[in-house]
Structure 1
């Protein structure tokens, strides 16, 4: 699921869950001092076909951690486990 960065948040325009997911990912990554990148899945047909309706989705080191409703504890565990 490659994209640049350790933590990647996949979103799309007009997605109401994406705004909430962005807040969760931004809060956890800021707390842990880890940057994150955001990717609009509709910019690339391959990314759009990979995620479809599973946005927001967050990956850590290329592994899908969560989608739709991003759980801050699950994201923290993923970051701690792959450090």
Structure 2
């Protein structure tokens, strides 16, 4: 499972989302990737007003905040546990 956090430096909501993702990751393993939207003009235009944006294997899950329980359930469901 690959969870991606789209954000940018200095974004306090992105920091909070990262912490939430790390909490979930402790008991529900997944790869965490972070993408700085400021390094790509298209991503910046698409996500600036919505960050943080969270995806699971390229499926959009959350904007602004992470629902930790929903994320864990989605990962477990995808793994077939």
When the two structures are superposed, what TM-score results if normalisation uses the length of structure 1?
Answer: 0.83
Q: CA RMSD in A?
A: 1.4
Q: Please report how far the alpha carbon of residue 7 of structure 1 lies from its aligned counterpart in structure 2 after TM superposition.
A: 0.8
Task: Supply the distance in 1 between the matched residues of 2:53 and 2:12 (Cα, whole angstroms).
Answer: 13
Q: Does 1:26 align with 2:4?
A: no
- Contact 2:14 2:52 survives alignment (8 Å): yes
- Contact 1:65 1:74 survives alignment (8 Å): no
Q: Please report how far the alpha carbon of residue 78 of structure 1 lies from its aligned counterpart in structure 2 after TM superposition.
A: 2.2
Instruction: Tell me which residue corresponds to 2:36.
Output: 40
Query: Runs of 4 or more off by more than 4 Å in structure 1?
Result: none
State the aligned residue count.
79
Q: Please report how far the alpha carbon of residue 30 of structure 1 lies from its aligned counterpart in structure 2 after TM superposition.
A: 2.6
Instruction: Tell me which residue corresponds to 2:55.
Output: 59
State the Cα deviation string for residues 36-78 of structure 1 (Å, max 9, x = none): 1111111101111221211111100101111102110121122
Q: Does 1:71 align with 2:67?
A: yes
When the two structures are superposed, what TM-score results if normalisation uses the length of structure 2?
Answer: 0.85
